[in-house]
Structure 1
Amino acid sequence: MTQNNVPGMEASAVSILKRAVELDNIARFQESIVCYQEGIQLLLDVMKALKDESKKAHYREKIRGYMERAEQIKAHLVREKEEGKYHEQIKITGDGTGFSYETLFKPYISETLTEVWVEDPYIRYTHQLYNFLRFCEMLQKASCQVKNIHLLTTQDDGENSSQQLSALAEIRQSLQTFGVTLDIEYSSTIHDREIRFNNGWIIKIGRGLDYFKKPKGRFTIGYCDFDLRQCQETTVDVFHTKHTRSS
């Protein structure tokens, strides 16, 4: 890193660590840990390029404080998980942004994640099928080794029936080229929406995967980047269990 890059790195570190503290303060601990870790690493990289010893000492003290807090949160989360008490709630406000699948699910994805269950009655219409495809793409790009995805949804018995069947069949065939098996089941009584990871995380989204608003036009900001897409108001409840049921 050159000296010219230091100010930008410092600004990024400050921004991420500020977000870590904000998430910490509202008890979104799993997300705050991710931000603490990213911010600390950035500050460590900045320190390597600094020549000002007083500034280095200042950052060294800051890093020590952030690391201590991150370790406290980790210990708290371990206790909560062991006792089966972990529950985190995220409120997505109407018109809120910054809630792409990558952003929302990142704190709960790990290298040990190999199997995912999606229960969502509304994977039927075109935009909902694309949402499920985006979710699968997110898993493919994430730092995990997902080999099996299970989808439980309702079957469209109207004019969109053939589109639903052909779209899901195409997604399944496409996933196979990446070594991922998609198992699809239909239920006429499913109502709850939840996503389960076999690393223990359970994410219940009030609106399921379909919480994004329709863009105002095909060439408006947020059409492609879902972190910039406005959302419908919904609540996300996150739980952790040592034994994620498989069916």
Structure 2
Amino acid sequence: MSGLIGMESSATSVLRRAVDLDVSGRYQESLVCYQEGIDLLIQVSKATKDEAKKAHYRQKLLDYMDRAEKIKHQVLKEKEEGKYHKQIKILENSTGYSYENLFKPYINEMLTEVWVEDPYVRYVHQLYNFLRFCEMLIKGPSRVKKINLLTSRDEENGKDQQTGGLHEIKNSLFDYGVTLDVTFSNSIHDREIRFNNGWMIKIGRGLDYFKKPQGRFCIGYCDYDLRPCYETSVDIFHNNHTRKTRLMFLI
């Protein structure tokens, strides 16, 4: 019984999140939550013996599935027309914006190559940010085989720390069958991430939008969802042509 109650609570929480995202216009993200919540609610319905509750769950499922289908068609239409553009405002000190939460809606099995353009992958905390981003990619459901990083060199503090860190990340990714290709440019200013499944994400602060935790043993040190953020904006686009054309960085 406790297991069923826990599953129902999880389904309610995920679906509430889906509705909140839906209302705020973050349709791609809401669609992911609707799908996850619907799956959980189906399991709850199957495990419930009370017929009145079963009928209640069935109606809820029909409502959520109908809304999810409408969102799916809307997103697909915008993608087909190359008009998809959503913006997320990350407020100062807000939480809940880990790489998993931000990028998960745009990662699927068609994703095999990623391009990261970020001038500030230099210092230790920025190298850790990039490492966490890579970890998020290889956990799936993507089938990433290559990650391309375009960044600038750390001329002020010496190159050993930056070069050594990126070399370690490269070797570690190789163990997972992923190639890391690093290119340096001192004229780079833009920050954007491109997936070869058609998605492009531009973040005002790049990957470095998390604030420094108050200490090594403080909440948010390990879990980025609990870490406060700097204020920044995230622009998300979809272009069907990017899945067919390899992005070339101009150095």
* TM, length-normalised to structure 1: 0.97
- The one-letter code of the counterpart of 1:23 is L
Moved over 6 A (4+): none
- Picking from 105, 108, 113, the partner of 2:106 is 108
1:24 paired with 2:22, answer yes
Q: Write the deviation string for residues 205-232 of structure 1: whole angstroms up to 9, x where unpaired.
A: 0000000000101110111111111111
Q: CA deviation at 1:160?
A: 3.1
Give the direction of change, closer, same or farther, for the CA distance of 1:155–1:55 in structure 2 (3 Å limit).
same
Q: CA deviation at 1:154?
A: 0.7
Tell me the equivalent position of 1:33: 31
The 2-side partners of 1:176 and 1:11 are apart by 40
1:227 partner SS? helix
Q: CA deviation at 1:33?
A: 0.5
- Picking from 86, 89, 105, the partner of 2:87 is 89
Q: CA deviation at 1:103?
A: 1.2
* TM, length-normalised to structure 2: 0.95
Q: CA deviation at 1:106?
A: 0.6
Q: CA deviation at 1:178?
A: 1.0
- The one-letter code of the counterpart of 1:118 is V
- The one-letter code of the counterpart of 1:7 is I
Q: CA deviation at 1:201?
A: 0.5
Q: Write the deviation string for residues 61-119 of structure 1: whole angstroms up to 9, x where unpaired.
A: 11001101100001001110111110111111111111111111110000111000000
The 2-side partners of 1:25 and 1:4 are apart by 32
Q: Summarize the alignment of residues 71-90 of structure 1 with structure 2, pairs less than 5 Å apart.
A: 71-90=69-88
Q: CA deviation at 1:143?
A: 1.1
Is 1:203–1:238's contact at 8 Å kept on the other side of the alignment? yes
1:184 partner SS? strand
- The one-letter code of the counterpart of 1:99 is Y
The 1-side partners of 2:170 and 2:4 are apart by 46
The 1-side partners of 2:163 and 2:55 are apart by 61
Q: Summarize the alignment of residues 1-247 of structure 1 with structure 2, pairs less than 5 Å apart.
A: 3-244=1-242, 245-247=246-248
The 1-side partners of 2:219 and 2:102 are apart by 19
Is 1:205–1:237's contact at 8 Å kept on the other side of the alignment? yes
Is 1:117–1:197's contact at 8 Å kept on the other side of the alignment? yes
Q: CA deviation at 1:189?
A: 1.2
2:150 partner SS? strand
Is 1:125–1:160's contact at 8 Å kept on the other side of the alignment? no
Q: Which runs of 5+ in 2 are unaligned?
A: none
Is 1:221–1:229's contact at 8 Å kept on the other side of the alignment? yes
1:107 partner SS? helix
Q: CA deviation at 1:4?
A: 2.9
Q: Write the deviation string for residues 173-204 of structure 1: whole angstroms up to 9, x where unpaired.
A: 11111111111111111111000000000010
The 2-side partners of 1:173 and 1:9 are apart by 40
The 1-side partners of 2:83 and 2:193 are apart by 18
The two structures, once aligned, show a CA RMSD in angstroms of: 1.0
Q: Write the deviation string for residues 3-26 of structure 1: whole angstroms up to 9, x where unpaired.
A: 332211111111111111110111
Q: Which runs of 5+ in 1 are unaligned?
A: none
Q: Tell me how many residue pairs correspond in the alignment.
A: 245
Is 1:19–1:35's contact at 8 Å kept on the other side of the alignment? yes
Is 1:212–1:231's contact at 8 Å kept on the other side of the alignment? yes
- The one-letter code of the counterpart of 1:169 is H
